[in-house]
Amino acid sequence: MAVDRLYALLERLGNLLRTEERAAGLRHGLQPVHLQALRYLQSCNRYSNTPAALTEYLGLTKGTVSQTLLLLEEKGLLRKQPDTEDRRVVHLLLTEDGRAVLKEALPPELFKRALSGLPGEGEVLEATLTGLLRALQTANAQRSFGACGTCKHFQREGPGRFRCGITKEPLSREDSQLLCREHEAVPPGA
């Protein structure tokens, strides 16, 4: 029974957020999925700003995402930059307009206000929901897209000096907070 109620709650919250996103995007002629794409591109790292990574993040097919990106590019909210190493790959970079739209639209004002009324700043809620999300993602064989600094390949070399164990490249403090498609959570008890 508690499972059913929790499911209903999450479903309803998801619907509400979508409705708000729809309203927020309407002002710019954007759909919910467009805002979600922009938000992802704003918070992912330089290894993860590609159509393929966005496809995995959104859980859609690559054809669908390709259309989404076409529209965003036409509107001038992002631009495509060919990868210098692998010429099949393009990188998606937000334009100033894209950043401006996001800043104006997300998260919705109503959400911020509703959240401010919650007790305790929501750290516990964030931790619980993260756990739930991880469980669902592993169950669906999906990637976690967590912050770089919480990955098991993240190496600390000194104060403010980090390195990625996969690419072997150095990482800044800002890098460590961005989402990565290669992210794997640190195994419990490490």
Partner DNA sequence: CGCATTTAGTATCGAGTCGATACTAATCGG
Partner DNA sequence: CCGATTAGTATCGACTCGATACTAAATGCG
State the residues that interact with a copy of itself by CB under 8 A: 2-21, 36, 39, 43, 58-59, 106-107, 110-115, 117-119, 121-126, 128-133, 135-137, 139-140, 142
DSSP track, the chain: -HHHHHHHHHHHHHHHHHHHHHHHHHTTT--HHHHHHHHHHHHB-TTS-SHHHHHHHHT--HHHHHHHHHHHHHTTSEEEEE-SS-TT-EEEEE-HHHHHHHHHHSS-HHHHHHHHTSGGGGHHHHHHHHHHHHHHHHHTT-----BGGGBTTEEEEETTEEEETTT--EE-TTGGGSB-TT--BPPTT-
Question: The tokens of 42 are what?
Answer: 């704003």
Smaller CB distance to a copy of itself: residue 119 or 158?
119
Residue 60 interacts with DNA (CB under 7 A)? Answer: yes
Is there binding between residue 167 and DNA (CB under 7 A)? no
Beta bridge partners of 147: 179
Give min distance, CB of 66 to DNA, in A: 4
Which residue in the set 87, 103, 112, 168 belongs to the binding site for DNA (CB under 7 A)?
87
Which of DNA, a copy of itself, none is residue 5 near (CB under 5 to 8 Å by kind)?
A: a copy of itself
Mark the segment that binds DNA (CB under 7 A) among 78-86, 99-107, 111-119, 169-177. Answer: 78-86
Q: What angle do CA 19, 24, 25 make, to 5 degrees?
A: 100
Binding partner of residue 185 among DNA, a copy of itself, none, CB under 5 to 8 Å per kind?
A: none
**Based on CB atoms, which residue is closest to DNA, 54 or 171?**
54
In the bound state with a copy of itself, the residue whose beta carbon lies nearer, of 13 and 93, is 13
* Cβ 93 to DNA shortest distance, Å: 12
Preceding peptide of 107 cis, ω within 30°: yes
For residue 116, state whether it binds DNA (rule: CB under 7 A): no
Contact set with DNA (CB under 7 A): 19, 22, 29, 31, 33-34, 50-53, 59-64, 66-71, 80, 85-90
